[in-house]
Each structure stands twice: as C-alpha cells, then as structure tokens.
Structure 1
Amino acid sequence: MTGVGDRVRSICLALPGAAEKTSHGSPAFFAGKQFVMLRHQGHHDHDFPHLWCAAPAGAQEELIASDPERYFRPPYDGHRGWIGVRLDGLQEDDWTELTETIEEAYRAIAPAKLLAELDARG
C-alpha cells in the first residue's frame, strides 16, 4: 500500500491544518478531530487496503448503494456515518473521486476557521 498510502497522505496533508498521527497502529489524519484513517490489508477481515473516513449525513448510504464493491460500512465507526473505501484496483480516474471523498471527510469535521481557509484557496 506504500504508493497508494503515500498518495492518500499527500491528499490529506494538503488540506489546511491537517496533521498525521498514528491511531490504533495505523496512519490517521486530523484537523482538530480525525477525518481519515488508512487501514492495511487484513484488518478486520478486509483482505484489501482501505481507508475509513468521516462523511456528511446520508453519504454513507448513498456511496454504498452507488458502488458496494468500492464502499462499505466500517466496523467501529460505521454507526457514526463513516465510510470505508477500498484502495485496491484504483484507476487514475478514481483518484478524483477519492480526493473529493477525502475533502468531504475533512469538511465533515474541520473547524470553521480551517474550512474558511480551504474555501479561500478556491
């Protein structure tokens, strides 16, 4: 997952005020609160690399319904509306959607000051 993980890390850390910390043995990204966690292959019987991320209300159901092969309800955080995203088999076109999903996760938890900074970037 190194190449994919590095790319996810770059997307997350490009967001205002984002920081990486280890949480439960995995790389996690915070902007005040956690918004993304990278998970390795074999975690909770998921035999594929994936991430868990915060999501706006209703997004979990919508994304899982739109592509149940890519999106899933993660254990522990799924009840809070978080989504799981498979990272294996990503094509170049998929990165645009993944970047948008990560930004939505950030927007779901980041404080207003950081959101204003993101919006000012255009």
Structure 2
Amino acid sequence: MNTAYWTLAGLLALFYLYAGTLKVIRSRDQLRPMMAWVDHIPLPALKALGAVEILGATGLILPPLTGTAPSLAPAAAIGFVLLQTGAIGVHLMSEDRRITLNAGLILTAAVTTWLATQL
C-alpha cells in the first residue's frame, strides 16, 4: 500500500505541480494552444487555480513525508477529484469533448484518496 500511494501521489503531484506552475507564470496566449478553455474563465481565477494545484501537489507529498497533519493528504486528493469534476464541466460547457485526461485524473486521485487513508 505504501509503495502504491507514493507512486500515485508522486505522479499526481508532478502533474499538478507542472500544470499549476504553467497557469501561474504563463500568459493566456501562451496557455491557449494546450488549454483551449482558458478564454472561458477570468485571468485571476486561472492564476488562483494554478496556485491551488501547486498547494494540492504539496499537500499530497509533505504531510505523509513529514508525519505532520497526515490528514491533509487525503484532503488534497479529494480536492483533486472535485477540481477535475469541475474541469469536466468547464470542458463540456465550452463544447470541448476532450475529457479523457480529466477522467483519468479523477480515477487516479480517487485511488490516491483511498490509499492515503491506509497509510
């Protein structure tokens, strides 16, 4: 269980750290080729979303690693399930039907949530 958690949590953390950093430091024009939905939300919300992703990635790794507030790890994973559920809604409202990645991230975050409760 421990190895499975660290594998999935590590992959999720890397993904969200990368995606969140891009949202925080890049302009809307730079993000548009890889994220067609960026025109549908205000720029401050986009930057805040990036910051939340970075904090969530940190929440998956640091609490179990340090043993401080370990309940933050499942909370972060649940947060990613909710975030991707909202992302699917944004994609579908903007008539973007490419939600396979979002569905995969929901599944991965859900399994990570369960694994985090087993630590």
Report the structure, 1 or 2, having the larger helix content. 2
Higher relative contact order (CA 8 A, sep 6+): 2
TM-score by length of 2: 0.32
Report the structure, 1 or 2, having the larger strand content. 1
TM-score by length of 1: 0.31
